[in-house]
Structure 1
Amino acid sequence: MSLMVVLSLCFSLIFMMPSMLQPLSLGLCVMSLSIGLCVLLGLVGSSWYGYVLFLVYVGGLLVMFAYVSALAPNNFFSSIKSVFGFVLMFVIGCVMVSTLYFVDSGFISGLVSFTENKNVVSSGMMIIGASSMCLVIVLGSVLLLNLLAVVKVCYYQQGPLRFHSDLK
């Protein structure tokens, strides 16, 4: 049952992401989604791996928050609309997950068979195995591409991204 609640929370957060207008609310949504996915990983697989993944997410989000808070203007949150939208998306996510549970029972049985192999997940052989080496290479390439994009944006000769009026 807790697996269904966490899955519906993750689905509702994913569907709410395009409606976020302020960078801080989007950061809060990404942070909540990372917590939900790490809890889901802790329920399904190894809790240690979920905890380490959460720490990596938090480190990346702190860097992203520093950049966003330096570049974006301060906006106010619209409280009632966002709470109503979240509740609506959570209900839609619950309906989707329960439909998935009752219509496609193979989805849940696949998760159950995955939890039976916890010794493979906790040993780390599944992450760096021969079958998932392509995924590791793709993730490394994405990180390299992001590094090159950030270096290209932040040239030293062109100065800072945002000038302060008191420094001129």
Structure 2
Amino acid sequence: MKKMLIIASILVSMMFMQINHPLAMGLILLMQTVIMCLISGLMVQTFWFSYVLFLIFLGGMLVLFIYVTSLASNEMFNLSTKMMMTSMVLTTFMTTMMMSMPQNNMDLTNQEMIMNNENILLLMKLYNGSSSLITILLASYLFLTLIAVVKITNISKGPLRQMY
């Protein structure tokens, strides 16, 4: 599964270099983010870090999407046949390479049990008694920062595109 996601990441990165429309670049960047979050979730065996990473990237993508649509709202979006053919050839090439690779015969159950125990210990260290004060302080600081940003923002100069 990890091999397929890494190959998909490489293909999406190659497609990103051939695209010139800003909205298509944003879509490719979102696909790359989802793939990277899946890879990091599979490597650590807990997906909480991947969820946080995805939400941060999604917030940044929202700002990027609003900015791009205000600048390039009337450009036409068309698909390049050259890019589609290149991606299809690369996909079949990478898939055949992946199928021809030998598989590891390691005992995965013992390895998975060790990783699960390590992850449980890491989560217990994050929320134990001595570090719970730091976690509560960080959440309070972020909440107060959110309130300050909302109060400082000028409502009349908020959106980039004026609503009529």
Q: Taking structure 1 as the reference length, what is the TM-score of the superposition?
A: 0.56
Q: In terms of Rg, which structure is larger?
A: 2
What is residue 64 of structure 2 aligned with on the other side?
64
Match of 1:86 in 2: 87
Superposition CA RMSD, Å = 3.8
Percent of aligned pairs sharing the same letter: 25
Aligned to 2:19: 20
The residue correspondences of 1:48-127 to structure 2 (distance < 5 A) are: 48-72=48-72, 74-78=75-79, 80-94=81-95, 102=102, 116-117=114-115, 120=118, 123=122
Q: Answer whether contact 1:38 1:53 (CA < 8 A) is retained.
A: yes
Once the 2 structures are TM-superposed, how far is the Cα of residue 120 of structure 1 from its aligned partner? 5.0
Report the count of equivalent residues.
Answer: 123
> Compared with structure 1, are the counterparts of its residues 32 and 42 closer, same or farther at alpha carbon in structure 2 (3 Å cutoff)?
same
Deviation at 1:83, TM superposition (A): 3.2
2-structure distance, mates of 1:118, 1:32? 28
Q: 1:163 to 1:28 in 2, by over 3 A?
A: closer
**Under a length normalisation based on structure 2, what TM-score does the superposition of the two structures give?**
0.57
1:39 aligns with 2:71: no
In the superposition, relative to structure 1, how do residues 120 and 76 fare at CA in structure 2: closer, same or farther (>3 Å)? same
**1:7–1:21 Cα change, 3 Å:** same
Bigger mean CA deviation after superposition, 20-29 or 81-90 = 81-90
Quote how far apart the aligned CAs of 1:70 are. 1.2
In 2 relative to 1, CA 47–76 (structure 1 residues): closer, same or farther, beyond 3 Å? same
Give the gaps of 5 or more residues in structure 2: 105-110, 125-159
Q: Identify unmatched segments of 5+ residues in structure 1.
A: 106-112, 126-161
